[in-house]
Chain A
């Protein structure tokens, strides 16, 4: 077994997003390895849209995604926790009032 056969350079990881039909946004469906963006798109088509699951695909290098950290999720999302008045259900509507 040659070294090359054993371990070709590791291909970058791409995250794949698919728009299932017009009018809907792209949704994350999974990931794959590919040497470049063109191959990533082709592979994504073959792997994630074999049954017409999509009309448009985005591929994004996984390393380019900045994510919030699960460890600090409480503090990070805290500002929204005590603002129930942002929801319509917070308000009392007098009996008989319609279209409000």
Chain B
């Protein structure tokens, strides 16, 4: 008879999906919890840099769009926390770990949004990079994570387009507006390349995650895909990717480009980015300020339940 772990491996080998109550190696469960939690935290922390501009959006149209986008990110967080919970953890515990700095979120959100063009750059580059990372996750071996990613990816494409549209408008505006778009690209280009993680040679979790079907492509492969996709879009905008070494290889149809400064990535991961403290403090404050709402809702639910019991008796 097959052991439980044999059936896990057989499912993985057949490119099948693992579902919540299936037997799975402890390492597989732990890796998924860490990754899905980090992903969920990124979605909700990611609301902050953009939320910063909702009240200052240049028109009602832009404001409505930005609110819808930020609301989507909250939804993404929820899908992902729910997926993590199917692995036997509580969302409340994951939030505690985030607030205590014991679990990470994507380093990209530790950079500030200085101008309106940054909102365009985030949608275009950051959501663009997220899409490149997330599309392969729709085929992740863990069913609930893959299904959450399908929903997320469907919603992301509007995020990227609205960002591109913001920059396209600025690039066809006054010279000062175009300059603002260029400045945003200059600042967001390198952190966006870092979103794919360390280079393959020094990526710690990659190999096992690939074997388990959690990860489908290497960090460097995805980074390359992002550059190939994005550079022609910058050409359409008429702004310049800030890389002097960027060249197009006719033979392969790919760009060769300068790698980002990974020492900077490690510093930001360690907590030394421009906005780490601000982001976490804001998150903790929002959570604490919302406590009375959760308490009131719980008290109301309890009262209603008692009433029901009373009328049933």
Residues of A close to B78: CB separation below 8 A:
32, 47
Interface assignment of B91: CB less than 8 Å from any CB of chain A: yes
Determine the chain B residues whose CB is within 8 A of the CB of A46 once the complex forms.
Answer: 75
Interface residues of A in 7-26 (CB under 8 A from B): 7-11, 13
Query: Is A50 an interface residue when CB atoms closer than 8 A count as contact?
Result: yes
**Which A residues touch B284, using CB under 8 A?**
1
Encode contact with A along B269-313: 1 for CB under 8 Å, 0 otherwise.
Answer: 000000000000000100110010011011011001100000000
Query: Which B residues lie within 8 Å of A2 (CB)?
Result: 288, 291
Chain A residues within 8 Å of chain B by Cβ, number: 27
Known: A5-B291, A10-B92, A31-B82. A71 touches B23 (CB 8 A): yes
**Which residues 85-99 in B have Cβ within 8 Å of A in the complex?**
85, 90-92, 96
User: In the complex, which residues of chain B have a beta carbon less than 8 angstroms from the beta carbon of A36?
Assistant: 297, 300-301, 304-305
B89 CB, nearest partner CB in chain A, Å: 12
In the complex, are the beta carbons of B287 and A5 less than 8 A apart? yes
Which residues of A are found within 8 Å of B146, using beta-carbon distances?
A: none
Q: How far is the CB of B61 from chain A (nearest CB, A)?
A: 18
B140-156 CB mask vs A (1 if < 8 Å, else 0) is 00000001100100010
> Is B115's beta carbon under 8 Å from chain A?
no
Q: Is the CB of A30 within 8 A of B148?
A: yes
The answer on a CB contact under 8 Å between A32 and B294 is no
Measured CA separation A69–B22 after assembly (Å): 9
CA distance A9 to B288 in the complex (A): 14
What residues of A have a CB within 8 angstroms of the CB of B79 in the complex?
30, 47
A70 and B21 contact, Cβ closer than 8 Å, known pairs A4-B295, A7-B92, A8-B291: yes
Determine chain B's interface SS by DSSP, over half rule: helix
| Interface residue range, chain B | 20 to 34
Which chain B residues border A30 with CB–CB below 8 Å?
A: 79, 82, 147-148, 151
Answer whether A8 and B75 are a contact pair too, CB < 8 Å, given A33-B91, A35-B301: no
Please indicate the chain A residues that have their CB under 8 angstroms from the CB of B304 in the complex: 36
Is A6 among interface residues, defined by CB-CB distance under 8 A? yes
Q: Which residues of the other chain, B, contact A1 by a CB distance below 8 angstroms? A: 284, 288
A residues within 8 A CB of B82? 30-32
B228 interfacial by beta-carbon distance below 8 Å: no
> Which chain A residues (47-94) contact chain B, with CB distance < 8 Å?
47, 50-51, 67, 69-71
Interface centre among A4, A8, A30 (most CB of B within 10 A): A8
B8 CB to closest chain A CB (Å) equals 11
**Are A8 and B295 neighbours in the complex by a CB distance under 8 Å?**
yes
Residues of chain B contacted by A39 (CB below 8 angstroms)? 297, 301
B297 pairs with A35, CB closer than 8 A: yes
B297: chain A residues at CB < 8 Å are 11, 34-36, 39
Q: What is the distance, in angstroms, from A41's C-beta to the closest C-beta of chain B?
A: 13
Is the beta-carbon distance between A4 and B298 smaller than 8 angstroms?
no
Residues of chain A whose beta carbon lies under 8 Å from any beta carbon of chain B: 1-2, 4-11, 13, 30-36, 39, 46-47, 50-51, 67, 69-71
Having A70-B19, A70-B22, one finds 4 other A-B pairs with CB under 8 Å, namely A8-B291, A32-B82, A35-B298, A36-B301
A-B contact pairs, 17 of them (CB 8 A): A2-B291, A6-B96, A8-B298, A10-B90, A10-B92, A11-B297, A30-B82, A31-B82, A31-B85, A34-B297, A35-B300, A36-B305, A39-B301, A46-B75, A50-B71, A51-B155, A69-B21
